Amino acid sequence: MVQQLTTTAPETMPSQPAPDGAGRPRGGRPGTVFWTSVGLIAAFVLWAAISPQSLGDVMTASMNWTAASLGWSYLVVTLLCILLMLYLGFSRFGDIRLGSSTDRPEHSTWAWLAMILSAVMGIGLISYGVAEPISHFLAPPHAMAQPETMEAAVRAMQFSFFDWGPHAWAVFGIFGLAIGYSTHRKKRPGLVSPMLRPIFGKLVDGWFGKMIDVFAIIATLFGTTTSLGLGASQIAEGLGRILGLPTGLGAQIVIIAVVTVLFTLSALSGVHRGIKYISQTTMALSLLLAVYVFFAGPTNFVSNLFFRSVGQYFNDFFQVSLITPSTPDDLQWMQWWTYFMMAWWLSWGAFVGVFLAKISKGRTVRQFVAGVLGVPSLVFFAWFTIFGGTAIKMDMDGAGIGEATTANINSAFFAMLENLPLVQVTAVVTVVLVALFFISGADANTFVLSMLSSKGSLEPGKPVLTVWGVLTGACAVLLLIVGGLAALQQAAMLSALPFTVIVALLGICLVMELRRDDEFKPLRHARIKDLPPAGKPAPGTDGIA
């Protein structure tokens, strides 16, 4: 994905040095944002190394308070992102291009959609593709159905769609639209702070703008470490089933260390063509695996479950989108699932937004909304129904997948594959998929972190790339030591909390800038009283059409 990033010209004139926070020139040494971000994350790493118990206690207490007091904000912001995307797509702003009015898309529609899907189709789809639906099947969310019934299966898919569908892609879409409009049409660097200029004015050029960029870096880092922890757990589980290797914490740490070296070296090499091939390979393998499971598994059950679940999802859309916990057990469930998922998408917003913005140059806002909000959601609905629905049917028939998932959530995907033919082949394909997602995703994140901390430079220095590669791996390892998957989730949720405010402001600024766009300049000063009454010619026209 990194290979898609190219340079954009600064908004200021070449003869005038761009202020930090506004249009930034390419290159240059990392400044305050880099050192502040590294310092804060280094302090976190040091705390985790010296006193993991106290860090774990503080994170748990902070997360419990955040979920109980502010958890609703994750739901409100993501829902507003969906509504704003739909408004922009259907309004007059839909015809505005991400670029000049004469720009046209750089990629064909099919290639563009394939790249959009590759942006997020990663480790999470393996980690949660079976684990989430089967978990909801055993314990239906908010007690909306009797466990292990057909109604529970529908609810399980409904809430999986909720976590991985439009709510996720709308967050990415708002970031992508804002970054794309700012970089391609306004010729600014790909940072978050310049996009908030309509509200904060020159404040974004000073410490306030730097603070926003620091928040973006920290949220992106912890969103990445969550993926690394999930990926290490899945690779360890797969290698354990295929080769009988250990699957514990020690094995996961070794896997993270090895992959950290690989993706850091890849980022340093600058040979991004390999990442392009990796992304294409993962897409092809994912499609083959999905088609195989669909036809080798309970095809009729999965097909019927898909349409029934999609209907339930849209029927209860607003109710589910704003549902909040009513009991302590409900709150704990929300922390583990819904609140975490919404925060995870917020923490990935800046990274995915940069990627979507780059590949969407020349697209209209309307095309962007359809391609980012609609198509990926349907593909993800299908993925979760194929793998999750297959596992649910197997569990109904006594395969014991639910029991295996309860014992070890990382085993869910492989437990499902073991009940189908060619398990050795599909297990190997799954491990290869996770490893490729692992390397390409972390490589891209390392590059984006380096760019964000190097004043928007699209050619960050090798020392900066190395620092972010090492810190990403170190944070993932230490969070696993501190509290395993729960600690990874807590870090993503806490780091994303400021982004609930930032993404809301970003949406407001985007609308403000679209309203001022040159596309509507001739109409900006028109007044109703200057328009001719109905049936009368305009002044000076003499009635000639």
CATH number of the domain bearing residue 46: 1.20.1740
The pLDDT mean for the chain works out to: 82
**Domain assignment of residue 2, yes or no:** no
Query: Would you give the DSSP letter of residue 382?
Result: H
pLDDT at 527: 61
| Secondary structure class of 364 (helix, strand, coil) | strand
| Secondary structure class of 449 (helix, strand, coil) | helix
| Secondary structure class of 208 (helix, strand, coil) | helix
Are the C-beta atoms of 300 and 502 separated by less than 8 Å?
A: no
pLDDT at 79: 95
* Average pLDDT of the segment spanning 483-495: 74
d(CA 400, CA 155): 20
Please tell me the total number of residues recorded for the chain in this structure: 545
pLDDT at 18: 40
**Domain assignment of residue 316, yes or no:** yes
Beta bridge partners of 97: 364
Has residue 23 got a pLDDT over 70? no
Beta bridge partners of 364: 97
**Domain assignment of residue 4, yes or no:** no
d(CA 236, CA 246): 7
pLDDT at 545: 44
**Domain assignment of residue 461, yes or no:** yes
- What does the longest C-alpha to C-alpha distance in the chain come to? 90
Which helix (DSSP H) or strand (DSSP E) does residue 294 occupy? helix 273-296
CA angle, corner 378, sides to 372 and 380, nearest 5? Answer: 90
CB atoms within 10 A of CB 475: 24
**Domain assignment of residue 20, yes or no:** no
186 Cβ partners below 8 Å, 6+ apart?
11, 513
Percent of the chain with pLDDT over 70: 86
**Domain assignment of residue 390, yes or no:** yes
| Secondary structure class of 97 (helix, strand, coil) | strand
* Average pLDDT of the segment spanning 411-437: 89
Domain that holds residue 387: 26-517
Concatenating the DSSP letter of every residue in 229-251 gives: HHHHHHHHHHHHHHH----SHHH
**Domain assignment of residue 524, yes or no:** no
pLDDT band at 301 (very low <50, low <70, confident <90, very high): very high
* Average pLDDT of the segment spanning 90-94: 91
Q: What's the pTM?
A: 0.83
Count of alpha carbons within 13 Å of 376, Cβ hemisphere only? 29
Helix 207-243 to helix 423-452 angle (10° resolution) is 160
d(CA 515, CA 31): 34
What is the count of structural domains for the chain?
1
d(CA 72, CA 288): 39
**Domain assignment of residue 19, yes or no:** no
